[in-house]
Structure 1
Amino acid sequence: MIQTNLPRRAARILLALTAVAALVSVDVPDARAVPPLGVTAEAPPDATSARVGALFAGGLDGGHFCTAAVVRGAGRDLIATAAHCLDHPDSTVFAPGYRDGKAPYGVWRLDRVYVSPGWTDGEDPDDDIAFATLVPQGGVRVEDLVGGFPVAAEQPDDVTVTVLGYPSDREAPLRCANSTSLFSDTQRRVDCPELSGGTSGSPWLADGALAGVLGGHEGGGTVPEVSYSAVMGEAARRLYRDAAAAG
């Protein structure tokens, strides 16, 4: 009897192991789907890219010229971008998750803008970061729809960041991850190709937290292969605290 049951039992065990293996293979993401460091590719439509959006002049037919990202705030209505992207806040709108001419989470008008005096007084590239609150839509706040990135200002010099942004000649966001280096005590650089005009304000994400935005030195860079971000020092942290507490 024991010998007769062994093959049947082994078959059941093999079947169970096969089912478990199938489940594991579904749950584990395909590492090949993530581009290697320093390679730029179109960002997939997922929870991360939903929090990143394009800034438009007036509306979707006005053309997008910069990038911004939803960050956490008490009012659940806060975005971060480069200060040089907010020269005309009254006519600027934000479309999170924008892709192929569509704004799946709506088009949001800016309410209040938070820019450092260092930028307003002299356009200091070390202060090229800004925050803005958005006007709610029917009582709904943007963070209620897409969530928001935490802000983690203090980072090591060689932190690996993921940059997501919208070149002005593309209708979907690009993604590139790479390790950073210090260009100066107050500016970081990252080597990522194809991050051309329109990607100013793109979030630099370190382990899913905002560690900077594309901007700063040379307005973020004069060639698509090299981008910059101001190091988030005390002035930027204070600016964020003020903006995050509003609402």
Structure 2
Amino acid sequence: MAPRPVPPARAVGTAALTALLLASGTACGGQDKAPTAEVAQPSPARDRIGTLSVHNAQGPRACTASVVHSPGRNLLVTAAHCVQNQRVGLLDGLVFTPGYRNGYSPYGTWQVQSITVHPRWAEEDDPDYDVAFVTVRPVDGRQVEDAVGGNQIGTGQGFGLAVSVTGYPNDSDEPITCSVRTRSQSSTQERFDCGGYTDGTSGSPWVTGDGAVVGVIGGYQEGGETPGTSYSVAFDQRIADLYRKATT
């Protein structure tokens, strides 16, 4: 489907955001499994990852997102349930803050402009299509990819990949990260096991050593019901097609 424009930022009720997060199924509760994620040290590659929050960097957190390369140089990838679901609809007023850490926003905040989700997600919250591409508005005439760079979208690479997964738990002002290997959950879903991925980490990118995003926390159980196991839609032809729609 074509990108859907997001209305200008307006007051978003706490109840609406709470409902979105409760419906999101981001990993929470349960027992952590070894290994456990550690605080992510700053790096240029990790500065492409940031928070999705309401109105400003210190506003209520929704999820994690990251910059991916696009012709418009203004594109993020995250989980679809981070920005829209059947219960709440489209969550507006979102901003992206790349490299956020301890109250500091080194690259400023970038207002969400439009989203692209698959019709199967828009119509029925199908967990096999829990991925969204999000454009952000320029800041002072500069696109977000010009500020922090962008990773490539990697599709058709299968399972068993070594990846790093960096994201922002809602209860922390620093990102966490874990180096893991992906596994098959089903023909359309993948998973990894590492503790610490609690509320807020949905949308965290799964990045290979050569800088390709091959998953985002979401999909089955909208990311996972415990912080020790996380899921993603398999990045296959469906995601390649969705990316193409988001960039044309």
The bucket for the TM-score relative to the shorter chain is 0.7 to 0.9
The partner residue of 2:130 within 128, 131, 135 is 128
1:130-183 alpha-carbon deviations (Å, 9 max, x no partner): 001110112100000100001111123211111000000000110001111111
Greater share of helix residues, 1 or 2?
1
Contact kept? 1:39, 1:177, Cα under 8 Å = no
The partner residue of 2:118 within 98, 106, 116 is 116
Structure 2 equivalent of residue 228 of structure 1:
231
Q: Does 1:85 align with 2:82?
A: yes
* Shift of residue 61, structure 1, vs aligned partner: 2.9
Contact kept? 1:89, 1:110, Cα under 8 Å = no
Contact kept? 2:193, 2:228, Cα under 8 Å = yes
Runs of 4+ in 1 over 2 A off after TM superposition: 87-90
Structure 2 equivalent of residue 52 of structure 1:
49
Contact kept? 1:72, 1:244, Cα under 8 Å = no
Q: Does 1:176 align with 2:173?
A: no
Structure 2 equivalent of residue 67 of structure 1:
64
Q: Judge which range, 93-102 or 154-163, deviates more.
A: 154-163
Whole-angstrom CA distance in 2 between matches of 1:38 and 1:237: 31
What TM-score does the superposition give when structure 1 sets the normalisation length? 0.82
* Shift of residue 223, structure 1, vs aligned partner: 0.3
What TM-score does the superposition give when structure 2 sets the normalisation length? 0.81
2:70 counterpart letter in structure 1: G
> 1:241 is paired with a residue of what secondary structure?
helix
Q: RMSD of the alignment, in Å?
A: 1.3
Whole-angstrom CA distance in 1 between matches of 2:152 and 2:103: 28
Contact kept? 1:164, 1:175, Cα under 8 Å = yes
1:65-122 alpha-carbon deviations (Å, 9 max, x no partner): 2000000000100000000001244211100000001111011111111111010011
Structure whose CA Rg is larger: 1
Whole-angstrom CA distance in 2 between matches of 1:158 and 1:205: 13
Q: Does 1:195 align with 2:192?
A: no
* Shift of residue 64, structure 1, vs aligned partner: 1.6
1:181-209 alpha-carbon deviations (Å, 9 max, x no partner): 11111110100110111000000112211
Whole-angstrom CA distance in 2 between matches of 1:188 and 1:235: 14
Whole-angstrom CA distance in 1 between matches of 2:243 and 2:120: 15
Whole-angstrom CA distance in 1 between matches of 2:204 and 2:189: 15
Whole-angstrom CA distance in 2 between matches of 1:61 and 1:41: 22
The partner residue of 1:217 within 205, 217, 220 is 220
* Shift of residue 39, structure 1, vs aligned partner: 4.0
1:172 counterpart letter in structure 2: E
Contact kept? 2:156, 2:237, Cα under 8 Å = no
Structure 2 equivalent of residue 150 of structure 1:
152
Q: Which runs of 5+ in 1 are unaligned?
A: 1-36
> 1:189 is paired with a residue of what secondary structure?
strand
Count of equivalent residues: 209
Identity of aligned residues (%): 42
Structure 1 equivalent of residue 9 of structure 2:
none
Structure 1 equivalent of residue 247 of structure 2:
244
